[in-house]
Amino acid sequence: MSLIKTFSKKLIAWHGVDGRQGLPWQNNRDPYAVWVSEIMLQQTQVATVLERYPRFMKRFPTVKRLAAADIDEVLAEWAGLGYYSRARNLHACAKQVMEQFSGKFPSDPVLLEQLKGIGRSTAGAIAAFAFHERAPILDANVKRILARLFCIDGALQDKKVNDQLWSLASSLLPTKSEDMPIYTQALMDFGATWCTSRKPVCLTGERKCPFAKECQANLSDQVLLFPQKTIKAKSPEFDCDMLLLRHGNQVLLQKRPSKAIWGGLWCLPESAWVAKAKVSKVGATPKLEDLLALTLSNETAGPLLKLGKQVERGENIKHIFTHRRLWIQIWNVQTSKAYAFASGDLKWVPLAKLGQYGLPQPIKLLLQGLSLARGDDLKN
Ligand code: SF4
């Protein structure tokens, strides 16, 4: 019998023995809980989600509570998970569900896909888990499995290849809708634990893959050649300066624009990011007026120039994003007063209250270090 007909049954049987069991978001038909777990699991390891998901659900137990929260509260809870557009989209989507669907997630994947931050695969997962809809998923793991099973030619970014994979994913679905949650979970687990990118079980020989005799990549000894890859350009590298202005136990934070990297989070005033110099060298310590001109507007720089003391070179932090690297040079400056700014985007924040603000991970670690050195307790 062809693999198309037998795939779902075999995969469900595999899950019964070797799939992941007992994850807190499994066997849950609440679309809100399913949706939060699906968004959190994108680009985040399961081990991290296991720790952070219950905490998020405790703080925002319903879509109504999440929609009513302040975005700063959501970003603070998300801090450390990265890809902050996910948190902003969660918040915006919760509002959409409240306003457009009276607080109830729709079951139709086409409608789900129209919500903020929900792509076709996530819509399929929510529809399958919460509503038992026969909707396919196609995340990176599933693409890899299908590309190998059927030796799909062409890079995954190619629209034709993508369309072909979606059509395959649909044709492999179980016929009974009540099997959809377990099938969808099995597909995710099989890609994450058995048909992995670098060490699929058919190559390591650790376990016997249930598809070994039908998988075309395995039969033709080309497993690691699928999915076919496009050649990646080297990640660009950038330099920037950040100003760590302190008055006593307070630091000056600036809210980032919502569309930028780390959008909507609170950060230190920073200069524009410039392409990293080919040969890095440690230059002289800049004057305060030059640093202020690089990092803040004229109106804010003026009062700080009068209040700031000596500039001291601080840490040089390397932060790696998925598609770029950033070197941050910290400059420490004490001020004689915590000048009260008219702009709500600039705030003096006591170190002990940093836990109430969503901060980019490298800045959070830097300020936590300061806080611990002072013996402050960072309240979350
Ligand atoms: S035989 Fe190997 S490549 Fe094929 S599905 Fe199984 S684990 Fe994946």
pLDDT tens, position by position, 242-254: 999 999 899 999 9
Residues 6+ away with beta carbon under 8 Å from 54: 24
Atom of ligand 1 nearest to the CA of 202: 2
Give the CB-side neighbour count of residue 18, counting CA atoms within 13 A.
Answer: 19
pLDDT, residue 338, reads 84
Mutate to test the pocket of ligand 1, among 172, 187, 193, 194 (most ligand atoms within 8 A of CB): 194
pLDDT, residue 280, reads 61
CA of 228 to the centre of ligand 1 (A): 15
Residue nearest to atom 8 of ligand 1 (CA): 195
| Contact 217 CB / ligand 1 (< 6 Å) | yes
Residue pLDDT, tens place only, 233-283: 788 999 999 999 999 899 999 999 888 889 899 999 999 999 987 666 667
Residue 186, pLDDT above cutoff 90: yes
Residue 189, pLDDT above cutoff 90: yes
Coil vs helix vs strand at 126: helix
pLDDT, residue 375, reads 60
How many residues are recorded in the chain?
380
**What CATH architecture is 3-225?**
Orthogonal Bundle (1.10)
Of 341 and 199, which is predicted with more confidence?
199
User: What is the enclosing helix (H) or strand (E) of 327?
Assistant: strand 325-335
Specify whether the CB–CB gap between 328 and 319 falls below 8 A.
yes
Percentage with pLDDT > 90 across the chain: 70
CA distance 80 to 338: 28
Of 102 and 344, which is predicted with more confidence?
102
| Contact 194 CB / ligand 1 (< 6 Å) | yes
Closest by alpha carbon to 81, among 47, 112, 113? 47
Encoded tokens for 15? 């899950």
| Contact 11 CB / ligand 1 (< 6 Å) | no
Of 335 and 322, which is predicted with more confidence?
335
Of 43 and 191, which is predicted with more confidence?
191
Atom of ligand 1 nearest to the CA of 203: 2
Q: For the whole model, what pTM was predicted? A: 0.73
Residue nearest to atom 4 of ligand 1 (CA): 215
CA of 3 to the centre of ligand 1 (A): 13
Residue 31, pLDDT above cutoff 90: yes
Of 110 and 303, which is predicted with more confidence?
110
215-224, 280-289, 334-343: segment of lowest average pLDDT: 280-289
pLDDT, residue 309, reads 82
**What CATH architecture is 237-374?**
Alpha-Beta Complex (3.90)
Residue 342, pLDDT above cutoff 70: yes
Residue 51, pLDDT above cutoff 50: yes
pLDDT, residue 281, reads 62
pLDDT, residue 380, reads 43
Mutate to test the pocket of ligand 1, among 11, 14, 223, 224 (most ligand atoms within 8 A of CB): 223
pLDDT, residue 379, reads 46
pLDDT, residue 218, reads 95
Residue 38 is among the residues annotated as catalytic for this protein:
yes
Q: Which DSSP string do the residues of 176-191 spell out, in sequence order?
A: SGGGHHHHHHHHHHII
Residue 1, pLDDT above cutoff 80: no
pLDDT-derived band of residue 337, with 50, 70 and 90 as boundaries?
A: confident
Q: What is the mean pLDDT of the chain?
A: 91
Residue pLDDT, tens place only, 125-143: 999 999 999 999 999 999 9
Where are the domains positioned within the chain?
3-225, 237-374
91-100, 215-224, 287-296: segment of lowest average pLDDT: 287-296
301-323: average pLDDT: 87
| Contact 41 CB / ligand 1 (< 6 Å) | no
Residue nearest to atom 1 of ligand 1 (CA): 212
| Contact 195 CB / ligand 1 (< 6 Å) | yes
7-26: average pLDDT: 94
Closest by alpha carbon to 84, among 328, 367, 321, 355? 321
Residue 109, pLDDT above cutoff 90: yes
CA of 135 to the centre of ligand 1 (A): 23
Burial class of residue 168, CB neighbours in 10 A (0-12, 13-18, 19+): buried
